[in-house]
Chains A and B, each alone.
Chain A
Amino acid sequence: MSGHSNWPEWIYVGVVIALMVWVGAEAWETERLIEHVPEDAKTIIVTGQQWFWTFEHEDGTKEIGELHVEVGKAYKFEVISKDVNHSFNIHDYVVLMDAIPGRVNTVWFAPDKVGEHDIQCREYCGLIHYNMRGTLYVTEPLS
């Protein structure tokens, strides 16, 4: 290199590379685990459109702007859009999936506590994007 010895830089680059390998490996392992949808997950069809969310349960019941699920069960969301791109988001459960016309994207979660959480749109979709919000209600199992 430029005349003088450069070992501090080599060590530094080595450390950075090691860190990146570690971040990558952890991320890979975690993502692999969380992408595995449980067999018994119930399907909910999530439709985004300007500017509200519709949820359709397996039994055909529909909800607008509100979603009721039972604690301790796994749910698989099939996220679709009727017009432009949106992004379905329950921030408290790190659920995030784009709703893109012409595609069905899936994401799942299993709420572990009774409670209420915000649902929002996280992809710009126009005029009322800022208020394309809803509420998730996690309730005790009915039966």
Chain B
Amino acid sequence: MTLELAKPRPIWQIMFSTHHTDVGLLYLITSLTFLFLGGSLALGIRAELFYPGSQIIADSMTFNRIFTVHGTTLIFLFIIPFASAVGNYYVPIMVRYKDMAYPKLNAIAFWMIPPAGVLIWLGFADFTWYATPPYSIISAPGPAADMWIFGLKILGISSVLGALNFVVTILKCKHPDMSIGQIPLMAWAFLSSSLIIIVAIPTFAAALLMLLTDRLGVSGFFNPAMGGDPIAYAHLFWFTFHPEVYVLVIPAIGMMYEIIPRFSRKPIYSYNSGVFAFVMLSIVGFSSWAHHMYATGMSFTEKTVFMVGTLAAVPASAMHVFNFVATMWNGRIRFATPMMWAVGGIALFFSAGAGGVVNSAMPLDFTTHDTYWVVGHFHLFVMGTIAFGSIGYLYYMFPYVTGRMYNETLGKIHFVMSFIGTVLVFFTQHILGLYGMPRRIYDYPPIPEWIAMNQIASVGAMIIGISMVIFLANMIHSSGKGKPADTDDPFGLGGKYYYPFEAKNPSH
């Protein structure tokens, strides 16, 4: 099965197409562009923090803008569009339908992303990815802040439209011969994450509007000077964004469910427990948002409730890890590039979850909250798990999309360097947090432990940066000049079981 037409077409034909693989390609290129843009900002941050004092960034305002746009870009313009890319390519095929349910809506949802990206990048706001009031109302300079608000507004609408499309495609358009219990786990992943989006996003969408009118001075929802309450914003924000972390991670786990069984040449250990864990996460994920707010002065009872809600979601995450390990157990594993990324991603997923449990325990969170520990924690997810799963999947789908093979050696070098780099940066940041270094600071006092650990992290970031250049070169070169792939079995795994969706690419 090939996913993309081998015969080249002019770019505008793809741009104006509403066909799911074309929209998928557009999502893919957009998300990778932002991966590199956002990643470069991260290298700037790491270079600045290599040593106390000003290194390469002139002032703290610029630094603050850089980490704000870095986070916003990688979450909203890399991770989410990347998942949409994969979903567009595969979900219709997995449910055996000719396209997404609403192809035009699908294209519209995509085309909202580039203008939003432009707004965010031209504005270059400084109020962190959570735009907390009252800072975002009374202190953050416009028009950057307003452009960010509009950018996020557009991205929110885009994700809701995309999510509706996935839900309808999966539930209503799947082949009548197929029951919902037969769709692949990756399709379940898209169903779960899309449902979370539909429930979670409207809350933040409302908060953004309130923030905007507060900035304009016509309302005071979150402005204490006008009788408002900043804590209300924090609740609305985290009610959306804790579930959103599952929106980010679930598709990546779904991608791993495609890779792990194939490259282990064994069926998945338990399909049912995979489905159960996805559904659990998308429900229980709504009971823990205020674990981000332990230090805002919540009562003991409130903190307890949200701690219990957070811990309740852990077994479901842990079930995925078990499922992967049990699938690989006794398998005839072939460690091709996609498999390496998936397995590395699972190891980092496990470590990230362990750190998350520490954050959840309220007294311990007072040590870790808003230090580099938290930066390390969520990067083990966003980079270690999600980017790893996504990049692994990109290598996996590469031959199906381009009809050509990437360079395997370079793919493995990319993995090894990125894995080492990720461990160096983000494990070290956990320790740095325990030594008390706050996050989001432009400069720091010359405490020897802080300097040492910042330097390790910066070196790690450099290693990741170099590996990403290798990756880019490999992708660009191989998509034009790579050796033609055997699209029936590009990874030489043998056996028809390993390609269960005998999908016919609908003729264009």
Q: Return chain B residues, CB-CB under 8 Å to A38.
A: none
Given contacts A31-B303, A127-B61, contact A98 B326 (CB under 8 A): no
A74-109 interface mask toward B, CB cutoff 8 Å, 1 = contact, 0 = none? 000000000111010101101111101111011000
Give the chain A neighbours of B300 by CB distance below 8 A. 31-32, 35
Point out which of B128, B272, B319, B362 has the most chain A C-beta atoms below 10 A from its C-beta: B362
Instruction: Say yes or no: is A129 at the interface (Cβ < 8 Å to chain B).
Output: yes
Residue of A nearest to B224 (CB): A102
On whether the beta carbons of A130 and B442 are closer than 8 Å, the reply is: yes
| Selected contact of B135 from candidates A102, A126, A130, CB within 8 Å | A126
Query: Which of B127, B138, B370 is the one whose CB lies under 8 Å from A87?
Result: B370
Q: Which residues of B contact A100 (CB under 8 A)?
A: 230-231, 296-297
Binary B-proximity of A14-45 (CB < 8 A = 1, otherwise 0): 00110011011011101110110000000000
A63 interface residue per 8 A CB criterion: no
**Alpha-carbon distance between A87 and B360 when the two chains are bound, in angstroms:** 19
A50 to B323, CA, bound (A): 50
CA distance A40 to B322 in the complex (A): 51
| Interface residues as binary, B466-508 with A (CB distance below 8 Å gives 1, 0 otherwise) | 0000000000000000000000000000000000000000000
What is the minimal beta-carbon distance from A21 to any residue of chain B, in angstroms? 8
B494 to chain A, nearest CB (A): 23
Given the complex of chains A and B, what is the CA–CA distance between A130 and B357 in angstroms?
28
Cross-interface CB contact of A131 among B303, B323, B326, B443, cutoff 8 Å? B443
Q: Across the interface, do B273 and A1 meet the contact criterion of CB distance under 8 Å?
A: yes
In the complex, the answer to whether A103 meets B304 with C-beta atoms within 8 Å is: no
Chain A, residue nearest B318 (CB): A16
A9 at the B interface (CB under 8 A): yes
Which of B97-105, B164-172, B306-314, B420-428 sits within the interface?
B306-314
Contact in complex: B272, A1 (CB < 8 Å) = yes
Q: Does B331 contact A (CB under 8 A)?
A: no
- Within 124-169 of B, Cβ neighbours of A (below 8 Å) are at 126-128, 132, 134-135, 138-140
Chain A residue with Cβ nearest B276: A1
Task: Please tell me if the beta carbons of A9 and B273 are within 8 angstroms of each other in the complex.
Answer: yes
Query: Once the chains bind, are A98 and B445 in contact (CB under 8 Å)?
Result: no
**Interfacial chain B residues near A87, Cβ < 8 Å:** 295, 370
Q: How far is the CA of A84 from the CA of B135 in the complex (A)?
A: 5
> Closest chain B residue to A106 by CB distance?
B297
A136, CB-defined interface residue at 8 Å: no
- A13 at interface by CB-CB < 8 Å: yes
Distance in angstroms between the alpha carbons of A89 and B368 in the assembled complex: 11
Number of residues on chain A facing chain B (CB within 8 A): 54
Asked if A103 and B297 make an inter-chain contact with CB atoms under 8 angstroms apart, the answer reads: yes
B369 proximal to A (CB < 8 A):
yes
Chain B residues near A129 (CB-CB < 8 A): 60, 64, 440-442
Please indicate the chain B residues that have their CB under 8 angstroms from the CB of A126 in the complex.
Answer: 64, 126, 135, 139-140
Q: Which of A83, A96, A121, A131 contacts B139 (CB 8 A)?
A: A83
* A6-B270 Cα distance, complex, nearest whole Å: 8
Task: Let me know if A102 and B230 touch, CB within 8 A.
Answer: yes
Contact of B44 with A by CB under 8 A? no
Residues from chain A with a CB closer than 8 A to the CB of B335 are none
Contact B272 A124 (CB under 8 A): no
With an 8 A cutoff between CB atoms, is B407 at the interface? no
Contact: A27 with B363, CB < 8 Å? yes
Q: Which of B306-345 contact A (CB under 8 A)?
A: 307-308, 311-312, 314-315, 318-319, 322-323, 326
A118 touches B (CB below 8 Å):
yes
Q: Which residues of A contact B307 (CB under 8 A)?
A: 24, 27-28
Query: Measured between alpha carbons, how far is A84 from B126 in the docked complex, in Å?
Result: 14
A9 engages B319 (CB within 8 Å): yes
Known: A20-B311, A96-B295. A84 touches B134 (CB 8 A): yes
Contact with A along B353-367 (1 / 0, CB 8 A): 000010011111011
B371 interface hit (Cβ, 8 Å):
yes
Q: Give chain A residues whose Cβ lies under 8 Å from the Cβ of B296.
A: 98, 100, 105
The docked-state distance in angstroms from the alpha carbon of A16 to that of B356 is: 14
Contact between B319 and A98, CB atoms less than 8 A apart: no
How long is the Cα–Cα vector from A125 to B133 in the complex, in angstroms? Answer: 10
Answer whether residue A66 sits at the interface, using C-beta atoms and an 8 A cutoff.
Answer: no
B442: chain A residues at CB < 8 Å are 129-130
- Verify if A123 is at the interface (C-beta below 8 Å from B): yes
Assembly CA distance A30 to B303 (angstroms): 13
Taking CB atoms, residues of chain A closer than 8 Å to B231 are 100, 103
Contact of A13 among B134, B318, B360 (CB under 8 A): B318
Chain B's closest residue to A24 (CB) is B311
Known: A28-B304, A96-B366, A102-B229. 12 other contacts (CB 8 A): A9-B326, A17-B315, A31-B300, A83-B139, A87-B295, A101-B134, A105-B296, A123-B370, A126-B64, A126-B139, A128-B60, A130-B440
- Provide a sorted-by-A list of 22 A–B residue pairs whose CB atoms are within 8 angstroms: A1-B272, A2-B272, A9-B322, A12-B318, A84-B134, A84-B139, A85-B134, A91-B367, A94-B367, A97-B295, A98-B297, A100-B231, A106-B297, A122-B371, A124-B64, A124-B439, A127-B61, A127-B64, A129-B60, A130-B60, A131-B443, A133-B445
Rank and list the top 9 A-B pairs by shortest CB-CB distance, nearest first: A91-B436, A102-B224, A105-B297, A130-B441, A27-B361, A84-B135, A101-B224, A20-B311, A122-B370
